[in-house]
Amino acid sequence: MLALGSSKLAIIGLGYVGLPLAVEFGKKIETIGFDISKARVEELKQGKDSTLEIDPEDLNSSKKLSFTCDIQEIKSCNVYIVTVPTPIDDYRNPDLKPLRSASKMLGQVVSKGDVVIYESTVYPGCTEEACLPIIEEVSGLTYNQDFYAGYSPERINPGDKEHRVNNIVKVTSGSTPEITDFVDELYRQVVTVGTHKASSIKVAEAAKVIENTQRDVNIALVNELALIFNRLNIDTEEVLLAAGSKWNFLPFRPGLVGGHCISVDPYYLTHKAQEIGYHPEVILSGRRINDNMGAYVADSVIKLMTQKKIHVVDSKILIMGLTFKENCPDLRNTRVVDIIEELNKYHASIDIYDPWADNEEAVHEYGISLIESPNQNDYDAVILCVGHKKFIEMGAEQIRNLGKDNSVLYDVKYALPKDKVDGRL
């Protein structure tokens, strides 16, 4: 049985999840961070993190951490933690290609007695049904006889400097009772607030996938409420604040639901549910509502412009914010693009301004170019899509001044006073 004191870790994937984990483990245990991107590895070797999750001093504080994109350099490890993305495809089905590729690669390096731990969000059963058989096939080793597995779902919140790897309770699990104890003890080396030991890998997988499904359904409810209240000419936030005076009312707000988790994870669960013959009505209904909010925002802005007799065709519209959440450069699955796509149907001229986003990434991912800064009195409509601190600090008056005298100011994020905007969710 592998002893904790003899552990040498390899973290597979150095994105928003893998890098913070590698940095924490690298303070205690010999750790190698592996990524297939040479550019990513090189920037980390230079003490830079383009995701802005880790400061240079934090990178330097992990004295036992090194980085590589050479598979041969991780063969000496005996614990492998997989933190690769688990996106959905164009048909909203789970895209397991990154996970399968990582598993195939691990099959080339895993030895007898090694432990493979997955952190990537998946549907219940995926680790043992889709991933471990690949390792068995490539390595020639037998699961739970020659090598072992664990699952400890990631709980990283990009851009959140308060909730970090070390102070978020970690769910742990293993393929045998002994491996469960080992995985739990391993994570307790870096998670100071403790862990929650699940009885099986499937339970841990299910726990992760419902965390964000629950949030998605709750946000869908308040989004639907916003659609109803706007038709009744009632301010949604006023209603929510009034209802929130009761102690057990949950403080959700309407908005765009994007990113790599909340808008993706439910499809992993519904995929598995449908596979076993159950059609999940509530979850998919919530997804449909949330997926349509970008089009609703664009339609609302068009109506406000029409009311002000602003000709929409050839108008100039400013989108403030492109990232999927505030104070974070993460563009993955941002739903701001839905607003942009809808407005493009009206042949408007659209500028996108986001001081957090990387222009090269925006062009690569969405074919969108960012402007360096907006001009004063230049726009027929301004849409505040992301609540970046910089935007909030500008205040309603300064943002309003970006528009022409008769322009529309629409607030998606409830970031500005109600009486200073023309519309909001």
φ, ψ dihedrals at 116, nearest 5°: -110, 125
Signed CA dihedral, 389, 392, 394, 399: sign only: positive
Enumerate the H helices of 261-314 as residue ranges. 265-275, 281-291, 293-307
Q: Distance (Å, rounded) from C-alpha 52 to C-alpha 363?
A: 20
Q: In Å, what is the CA distance from 120 to each residue of 39, 67, 127, 424?
A: 22, 20, 9, 35
Looking at the DSSP bridge assignments, the partners of residue 353 are 320
- Which tokens go with 278? 């159950």
Strands (E), 161-300: 170-172, 195-197
Q: Distance (Å, rounded) from C-alpha 116 to C-alpha 136?
A: 12
What amino acid positions are annotated as catalytic residues? Answer: 261
- Which tokens go with 304? 């406000």
Strands (E), 92-141: 115-118
Q: Distance (Å, rounded) from C-alpha 305 to C-alpha 313?
A: 11
204's CB contacts (< 8 A; 6+ apart) are 151, 152, 153, 171, 172, 173, 198
Q: Distance (Å, rounded) from C-alpha 114 to C-alpha 384?
A: 50
